[in-house]
Amino acid sequence: MISSFDDYPIHQTSEPVAHPVSGDPSHYDRYFFNGYSRSGDIFFAAAMGLYPNRHVMDASFSVIINNEQINVHSSARAPHDRMKCTSIGPISIEILIPLQSHRLLVDSPEHGLRADITYNATTLAYEEPPFLVRSGNRTTMEYTRLTQLGNWTGWIEVDGTRIEISPHNVLGSRDRSWGIRGIGERVQMGAPMNTAPQFYWLWAPVCFDTFGTVFDVNEYADGQRWHESGAMLIGADTIKHAHSVTYDYTWEHGTRRSHQFDLTYNFAKDSASMTFTPLVHFQMVGLGYLSPDWGHGNWKGESATGGERFTIPVANPMAMTHLHTQTLSKVVCTLSNGEVHEGIGVLETLVLGAHEPSGFTGMDDGYTG
């Protein structure tokens, strides 16, 4: 099927752009943004996904203010033309300058949320190493992702009260990913694999005044890493790659979320050590992650919009829907030359199933050490 994007010289296969190279139902294409004030008194995030083999697209926007998380979601049938896949119900994304500036619009007063905010990058886009996981012969994850740091300008309106967003005070990050990973209603793929579900994921983009840092790690149940990356993003033109990254996680008792997190980047000639102190735990279910109602790629009908709100911190952090969090944190970075820098960023955590180094043995048992 020919669409408007086919008029650009961007083809990677012999097929029109509307047809993914893979017919896997878990093929996806996704935007993610977050933003937060330096004091931590406001946090917001947005996500938008396209699932072309499912003919579905969806989006969510979420704000934490005054200890309340307020969410709006939208889902619809995906058009074949990719030019029309960045606006879903009350939520839309405009790419003003690729890899530099994006405008996010929200107009859902019935759910208490309106916004007109623009993200401006302050660093290069950091391309993380490719993600690849197989279960037996089947590829279950195969995707590319970039992370970028920046700031925000504009306004957000919550229950009729407008909050001005200044780039001097509101920082944030974004990621962009595409490929194959588990989304949508589960599809029977033949004989089941006799392995227990398990996923361990940490991601930490952090903003400092003169640089930023990015980190991620995936581990198997025994602690063996199958994916890791780390870098320092300096100014608008430099990426300093870490040779290795090490971390020490202090879990909050009875949960799988952060009490304190220490992270070290080892570069070719120097190092950087960071300590994260939590401010607030953002629940990723507000963007559809692990949501029983607004899960990514689920068919909700031709067009659907909804929302919910709840108190933060949640009373039941070990509920399956609340295991995926982004913990907004104050961060202190000590360089090997003795310089100390204070910043702010998030530590995203999703730990499902066993993880021996943490003492987790079941699907969702909390930390007891």
pLDDT in tens, 312-355: 999 999 999 999 999 999 999 999 999 999 999 999 999 999 99
Half-sphere exposure of 90 (CA within 13 A, CB side): 23
* Measured distance CA(60)–CA(211) in Å, rounded: 29
Distance CA 293, CA 288 (A): 8
Q: Residue 180's beta-bridge partner residues?
A: 27, 142
Q: What domains does the chain contain, in order, with CATH numbers?
A: 23-182+197-358 (2.40.370.10)
Task: Please state, in angstroms and rounded to a whole number, the distance separating the CA atoms of residues 113 and 70.
Answer: 8
Please tell me the distance from the alpha carbon of residue 283 to that of residue 285, in angstroms, as a whole number: 5
Q: Report the C-alpha gap between 142 and 362 in whole angstroms.
A: 26
The whole-number pLDDT of residue 194 equals: 73
Residue 260 forms beta bridges with which residues? 250
pLDDT in tens, 48-86: 999 999 999 999 999 999 999 999 999 999 999 998 999
Please give the pLDDT value at position 48.
98
User: What is d(CA 35, CA 166) in angstroms, rounded to the nearest whole number?
Assistant: 11
Nearest to 327 by CA among 273, 268, 263, 260: 260
**What CA–CA distance (Å, rounded) separates 4 from 181?**
27
Cis peptide bond upstream of 313, omega within 30:
yes
For the chain, what's the residue count? Answer: 369
Nearest-angstrom CA–CA distance, 154 and 20: 35
Mean pLDDT by 10 residues, the chain (369 residues): 88 90 93 97 97 97 97 97 94 97 98 98 96 88 96 98 97 97 84 84 97 97 96 95 95 91 96 97 98 96 98 95 97 97 98 95 88
